[in-house]
Amino acid sequence: MLFQWGLRKQQEKQKKKGTTTQQERDQSGQAQDVPHEPIHSLLDVNIDIIRHTTGNSSDIVIRRFMIGQERSIRAALIFIDGLADEKNVYQFLLEPLMTATFPTTLSPKDTFCFMEKKLAAVGRIERISQWVDLFLALMSGETIILLDGVTFALSASTSGGEYRAIEEPQTQLAIRGPRDGFTESLRVNTTLIRRRIKNPNLWLETMRIGEVTKTDVAIMYVKGVANDEIVEEVKKRLRRIHIDSVLESGYIEQLIEDQTFTTFPTTYHTERPDVVAANLLEGRVAIFVEGTPFVLIAPALFIQFFQAVEDYYARFDIATALRFLRVLVFFLSLVAPAIYIAATTFHQEMIPTTLVIAIAAQRESVPFPGFVEALVMEVIFEILREAGVRLPRAVGQAVSIVGALVIGQAAVEAGFVSSAMVIVVSITAIASFATPSFAIAISARLIRFALMFLAAMFGFYGIIMGILVMTIHLCSLRSFGVPYMSPLAPFIPSNMGDTLFRVPTWAFKERPRLINQKNIIRQRKQQRPQSPASNRQEKNEGEQS
C-alpha cells in the first residue's frame, strides 16, 4: 500500500507539470526522459523510477539488502554490469554495509550519514539529491546506494570493467623508444602521462560533451609553461560544443580547428604517451577523449608533422638527415606525377635526349594523353590502397601487392599506360608512405590531383602557380592563434634548432616561442658534454681563481 501511494503521488506530480505518465510513454513508444526532480524518500518508488527510465535494462543490477542494528532499514545498491568493477562493489561496499554494526538509536537519515562517513571503503563518495546527477553517475560506471526514508543517494567511485590492455601503438611505430600506447580508457591515458611528468603543475580539467553520450573530455597542460591565453582558448572552444554525441577525438578536432576549408591538419593527434609528454613540456595543450586512443595536441605547426618520435632519441646528425629526407619525399609525393605530365606534354626539351626517346617509344602505343594516363593510374592505386586498409589484416597486404603487380603489368602489356608512368606512380606511393603523419600525407594525396590538372593545362608554370598558392594558404593558417608555418614564417631564429634540422640536445636552451610566452628557459647553461681532461682543467682554473 505504501508503494502504491508513493507511485501515485509521483504520477500526480508529473501530471501537474504537464508531462506524460509512464504508461502513456510506453504506449507511444517514446524514450523515457530523466526526471528533473529531487530523489524520492521511498526506496520502492526510486527503484521503480530507475527501472522505467532505463527501460528495465537487463544490465542494471539492483541488489536489495537490510542494514541497521536490527536490520530494519531497507537499502539498495545499484550499478551497471560491465561499467562498474563488480569485485570492488561487493568487497568495498556491499560486504561492509551488510556486516557493519550500527548504533541502535540512529534514524534512517543518521544512518545514511554514518554510512557515508565511515562504511563506504572506496576512494570517492558523493551525495546526490537530483535524478539527473544520479543517472549521470550511474551511466559513468559508479555505484548508487539508496536508503528507504532518505531523499539522498550516495555515488561511489567503482568504475572499471574491461579495457584493452596497454599495447604498442599501431600508427606511430618507432625503432627506439617506449613501447606503450594509449587505450580507450581516459584514466589510463592520463596515468601514462602522470608517470612521465611527476610534477604537481601538470593540471588536468575534465568536462562532459555530448547531450546524449555525455563523453568525458579532459584537457591537460603544465601550469607555468603553457600559454594561459591558449589554455583559455581551448577551454572556450570546448565549452562552445553542443552536439548529441562525441564518439572519437575526430569529432572534437573538427569542431575546434581554426580553419575548416583546408586539407592541412591544424591539430596534431597521436597515440604515443611520450609524444604528448614532450609537447606538454613545450607549452602545448593535450585533449583526451574517452573511448579513443588518439589524443589531440594544440597548437600544431606544419613542421611538427615531419618530426618523428625517434628523432629525439637518436643522434642529432642522423635525425637531421632523416628530417630532410622526409621533407623531400613529401615534396616528391606532391609533385612527381605533375612534373612527369608537364615534362612529357610541354617541356620535352628539358629531358635528356636518350630518355625522351625511350619515353616516346613507350608511349607510342598508349592511346591516352599523359594527364589521363596519370589520373587513371593514381585513381587505381588509391582504390588498391583503400581496399588494403579495409580488408582483414591477413589478406589486406597480399591483395594490395598482388593487385598492384597484376594490374600494372597487365596495363603495360595491354598498352593502356607506359612503363615510365607505372614507375612514377610507384615512387609517388612509396614517398607518401614515408611521411610520419598520416594526416599530412593524405593532404598531399588530395593536392596532388590539383597539381596534375594545373600541369596538364599550363605545364611547369601551372605547377609553380599551384605551389605558390599552397604556400600562401599555409602562411595564412593559424592553429589556436599561432601561425601555422612558424618558426619559418614568421621567421624566429631562436626556434630554428628544431625544424628542418635538429641541434644536439644540450643546445635546446629555449622552448618554442609563440606557444609559450612565460617560461622560455628549458635547461641550464653549459650542458654540453665535456671530456675528463676538460673537466680537470676547469676545476684547476676554478681553484686558482
Amino acid identity of residue 310, one-letter, is: E
182 against 411, higher pLDDT: 182
Mean pLDDT of 389-402: 68
Task: Express as a percent the part of the chain with pLDDT over 70.
Answer: 86
How many Å apart are CA 17 and CA 12, to the nearest integer? 9
Residue 135 phi, psi dihedral angles, 5° rounding: -70, -30
Matching residue, cell 562525441: 246
Domain boundary among 483, 498, 533: 483
Mean pLDDT of 382-396: 75
Q: Which of 176, 157, 519 has the alpha carbon at shortest distance from 314?
A: 176
Mean pLDDT of 330-342: 93
Q: Indicate the number of domains in the chain.
A: 3
Please check whether residue 293 lies inside any domain of the structure.
Answer: yes
- Same domain (yes/no): 369, 478: yes
Residues 6+ apart with CB under 8 A from 517: 227, 229
Task: Describe the crossing of helices 393-414 and 419-433 by its angle, rounded to 10 degrees.
Answer: 150
- Same domain (yes/no): 413, 321: yes
Q: Please state, as a whole number, how many other Cβ atoms lie within 10 Å of the Cβ of residue 521.
A: 9
Mean pLDDT of 469-476: 94
260-297 confidence digits (pLDDT tens): 889 999 999 999 999 999 999 999 999 999 999 999 99
451 confidence band (pLDDT: 50, 70, 90): very high
Please check whether residue 79 lies inside any domain of the structure.
Answer: yes
- Same domain (yes/no): 384, 465: yes
Q: Check whether 29 has a pLDDT greater than 70.
A: no
Least confident of 4-18, 141-155, 221-235, 321-335: 4-18
- Same domain (yes/no): 296, 336: no
Mean pLDDT of 95-120: 76
Please check whether residue 341 lies inside any domain of the structure.
Answer: yes
**pLDDT given for residue 1 in this prediction:** 42
293-332 confidence digits (pLDDT tens): 999 999 999 999 999 888 889 889 999 999 999 999 999 9
- The string over 157-166, giving b where at least 16 C-beta atoms fall within 10 Å of a residue's C-beta and e elsewhere, is bbbbeeeeeb
Radius of gyration in angstroms for the set of CA atoms belonging to the chain, rounded to a whole number: 32
Count of helix runs (H) and strand runs (E) in the chain: 19, 12
Mean pLDDT of 10-20: 48
Please check whether residue 305 lies inside any domain of the structure.
Answer: no
Domain that residue 343 falls in:
316-483
58 against 400, higher pLDDT: 58
Task: Express as a percent the part of the chain with pLDDT over 90.
Answer: 40
382 alpha-carbon distance from chain centroid? 25
504-519 confidence digits (pLDDT tens): 888 888 888 777 667 7
How many Å apart are CA 285 and CA 479, to the nearest integer? 12
DSSP letter for each residue of 348-365 = GGGS-HHHHHHHHHHGGG
- Same domain (yes/no): 119, 223: no
24 confidence band (pLDDT: 50, 70, 90): very low
**pLDDT given for residue 5 in this prediction:** 45
Q: Phi-psi bin for 535: left (phi > 0), alpha (psi -120 to 50), beta?
A: alpha
Q: Are 220 and 193 in contact (CB under 8 A)?
A: yes
Least confident of 31-45, 113-127, 239-253, 337-351: 113-127
**pLDDT given for residue 27 in this prediction:** 40
Question: Is the sign of the CA dihedral 198, 203, 209, 214 positive or negative?
Answer: positive
- Same domain (yes/no): 327, 445: yes
Please check whether residue 326 lies inside any domain of the structure.
Answer: yes
Element (H, E) at 394: helix 393-414
Q: Does residue 202 sit in helix, strand or coil? A: strand
Domain boundary among 458, 483, 508: 483
Show the cell assigned to 68.
541497521
Q: Which of 116, 104, 59 has the alpha carbon at shortest distance from 82?
A: 59
**pLDDT given for residue 325 in this prediction:** 92
Q: Are 166 and 183 in contact (CB under 8 A)?
A: yes
**pLDDT given for residue 244 in this prediction:** 93
Please check whether residue 34 lies inside any domain of the structure.
Answer: no
Residue 137 phi, psi dihedral angles, 5° rounding: -70, -40
Alpha-helical segments (H) within 434-521: 438-458, 460-476
353 against 406, higher pLDDT: 353
Please check whether residue 22 lies inside any domain of the structure.
Answer: no
Q: Check whether 256 has a pLDDT greater than 70.
A: yes
Residues 6+ apart with CB under 8 A from 480: 230, 233, 234, 258, 298, 299
Q: Check whether 463 has a pLDDT greater than 80.
A: yes
Q: CA torsion angle for 271, 272, 276, 278 (degrees, to 10)? A: -160
Q: Where are the beta strands (DSSP E) in 37-80?
A: 60-67, 73-80
Q: Are 370 and 457 in contact (CB under 8 A)?
A: no
How many Å apart are CA 155 and CA 142, to the nearest integer? 6
Q: 456 forms bridges with which residues in the sheet?
A: none
- Same domain (yes/no): 254, 348: no
**pLDDT given for residue 272 in this prediction:** 94
**pLDDT given for residue 7 in this prediction:** 45
Element (H, E) at 69: none
DSSP letter for each residue of 244-310 = S---SHHHHHHHH-S-SS-SS-SSEEES-HHHHHHHHHTT-EEEEETT-S-EEEES--GGGGG--GG
Q: Give the strand pairing for 478-479 and 73-80.
A: unpaired
531 against 39, higher pLDDT: 39
Show the cell assigned to 81.
554490469
Q: Check whether 19 has a pLDDT greater than 60.
A: no
Amino acid identity of residue 329, one-letter, is: V
533 confidence band (pLDDT: 50, 70, 90): low
Q: Mean of the per-residue pLDDT values for the chain?
A: 84
415 confidence band (pLDDT: 50, 70, 90): confident
- Same domain (yes/no): 237, 335: no
Domain boundary among 268, 300, 332: 300
How many Å apart are CA 7 and CA 21, to the nearest integer? 11
- Same domain (yes/no): 232, 321: no
- Same domain (yes/no): 447, 331: yes
3 confidence band (pLDDT: 50, 70, 90): very low
- Same domain (yes/no): 294, 333: no
**pLDDT given for residue 173 in this prediction:** 85
- Same domain (yes/no): 195, 336: no
Strand order across the beta sheet in which 295-298 lies: 202-209, 215-222, 285-289, 295-298, 268-270
Please check whether residue 306 lies inside any domain of the structure.
Answer: no
- pTM for the model stands at 0.85
**pLDDT given for residue 497 in this prediction:** 85
